[in-house]
Amino acid sequence: MIAWKNLDTLSSFHKLEEDEKVNLAAAMAGESGAQRVKSYSVPMGAGMDFNFGARAVDDAILSDLAAFAKEAQLTEKFAALYNGEVINTGEKRRVLHHLCRGQLGEDVIADGVNKRAFYLGEQEKIAAFANKVHSGEIANAVGEKFTTVCQIGIGGSDLGPRAIYLALENWAKVNNTLKMKAAFISNVDPDDAAGVLSNLDLAHSLFILVSKSGTTLETLTNESFVKDALVKAGLNPSKHMIAVTSETSPLAKSSDYLTAFFMDDYIGGRYSSSSGVGGAVLSLAFGPEVFAQFLEGAAEADKLAANEELLKNPAMLDALIGVYERNVLGYPSTAVLPYSQALSRFPAHLQQLDMESNGKSVNRFGEPVHYATGPVIFGEPGTNGQHSFYQLLHQGTDIIPLQFVGFRSSQMDTDVVIQGSTSQQKLCANVAAQIVAFACGKDDENLNKKFQGGRPSSIIIGEKLTPAAVGALLAHFENKVMFQGFAWNLNSFDQEGVQLGKVLAKKVLAHDTDGALKVYSDLLNI
């Protein structure tokens, strides 16, 4: 039987608090450091590895983390989730995004429907539609092919799919799978929509409206913006738009759209990239086969996440080291640092994934917790990030754990040799150097030039950023966030903190305000 307990009630957590802390600078020096890097590495799917040699743990701490995983029943809770138990206690819902990419356990029957079959069915419908668009069977009013797809969404309907599209755009170009260019409209700021639309050939553009409820104010506002632009261009919006929505929404059977694809309440927005939310835009952009490769990579990572052995479960390992850093070592933030420009929006997606999921101060039963939970997540691709905020990471007053991502080979296989090395080698040299510099530091009599070291990091290493690698990378972090939520006894699948601002915004627009809210409204001329 599963017991949902707060972190500070677990004896294994208190054992971790008593463990001797690792002197990371000493541990990473010389031969000791070499052995750590070689041995502290775990396969994580799609040919990638999670290397945690530069994290502030040792064999004793790892053993106690394994004991914690067992006492907290982390893999049992994951099994309960993928077998369809109601894990989202706030909204009394199942959590089923894993079923979009594979079935790890039992059939999940909800509302009389086999959910794996439902998700597969929608994927097949999307694939058939995408193939017809690519062949020209579905075309614009004068029979010309659509060349661009533009997604209209907000939050999880934008951040994840956009990050994945950008991650694979160059790969698709060199592999001849870029079927359509993709664009995204997400901000209710009219300058965003106008700017995107000004760069589109509207006559050859297909728009995807993503709204589960069909009533999301920001998304419907942007839809109206797009429809107005289409009408002004002499085009019929209903021939240029599809919807991704729920079967019960007002969009589901509307004549305003060429067709509709369905999602349900069991997949939250920030977890929806592997559902129709990501499936429609990515299948149209790259082809259904590429989206299938992405799902296969995610499924491989999910299988590893079900392993009870900590050192064979990279997502759980990453999660628990993070819990140790947050709750024992007291580190307040985590930086995600991909050394691939293709992953430029991946940190932004992880910000929502992590901070919307675990930015909670009450447990899954609505009771206050008395320990730190989700850290602040931020990041930027290297090497630009090195000039943006690495000064603080190296010599700032707070220690911030770092999660690097790097690949041995470039996506486009276009490079130059300068001073005996390629650009890709220089990129990889930078990330290798940073890991050691952060861990080991540098002594100097001039304190301005002294680096204390002891700054922990891990790195996910792959050969090349492929669709399968992107899928495995996404699933790794989704599962990491899930395991941390279990460890902190949180509900990682609701987001009440997002709703309050939306409610107040509606009051402002209705001029139902007083006090400070009215003054701010007046200052902004609303």
Which distant-in-sequence residues (6+ apart) come within 8 Å of 25 by Cβ?
A: 439, 440, 441, 452, 453, 454
**d(C-alpha 505, C-alpha 30), whole Å:** 57
**d(C-alpha 169, C-alpha 338), whole Å:** 16
Q: Are 27 and 58 in contact (CB under 8 A)?
A: yes
Whether 387 sits among the annotated catalytic residues: the reply is yes
Query: Alpha carbon 169 to chain centroid distance?
Result: 17
**d(C-alpha 515, C-alpha 522), whole Å:** 11
The closest of 77, 76, 80, 229 to 152, measured between CA atoms, is 229
**d(C-alpha 20, C-alpha 152), whole Å:** 51
Which one of 312, 449, 502, 506 is the catalytic residue?
502
Which one of 356, 360, 476, 478 is the catalytic residue?
356
**d(C-alpha 460, C-alpha 317), whole Å:** 13
**d(C-alpha 490, C-alpha 492), whole Å:** 6
| Residue 94 one-letter amino acid | R
The closest of 133, 132, 113 to 121, measured between CA atoms, is 113
3-state SS, 75-98, equals HHHHHHHHCCCCCECCCCECCCHH
Q: Are 213 and 268 in contact (CB under 8 A)?
A: no
End-to-end CA distance of the chain: 54
Tell me the DSSP string of 491-516. -TT--HHHHHHHHHHHHHHTT---HH
CB atoms < 10 A from the CB of 267, how many?
27
Which distant-in-sequence residues (6+ apart) come within 8 Å of 412 by Cβ?
A: 170, 171, 173, 174
Q: Bin 497: left if φ > 0, else alpha if -120 < ψ < 50, else beta.
A: alpha
**d(C-alpha 241, C-alpha 259), whole Å:** 8
Q: Are 3 and 488 in contact (CB under 8 A)?
A: no
* Paired strand residues for 263: 246
Q: Are 269 and 210 in contact (CB under 8 A)?
A: no
Q: Are 183 and 150 in contact (CB under 8 A)?
A: yes
Q: Are 182 and 281 in contact (CB under 8 A)?
A: yes
Whether 356 sits among the annotated catalytic residues: the reply is yes
DSSP 8-state symbol, 153: -
The closest of 329, 320, 342, 271 to 458, measured between CA atoms, is 320
Which one of 387, 426, 449, 506 is the catalytic residue?
387
Mapped onto helix, strand or coil, the DSSP state of residue 244 is strand
Whether 502 sits among the annotated catalytic residues: the reply is yes
Write down the H helix ranges in 328-405.
346-358, 384-388, 390-395
Catalytic center residues: 356, 387, 502
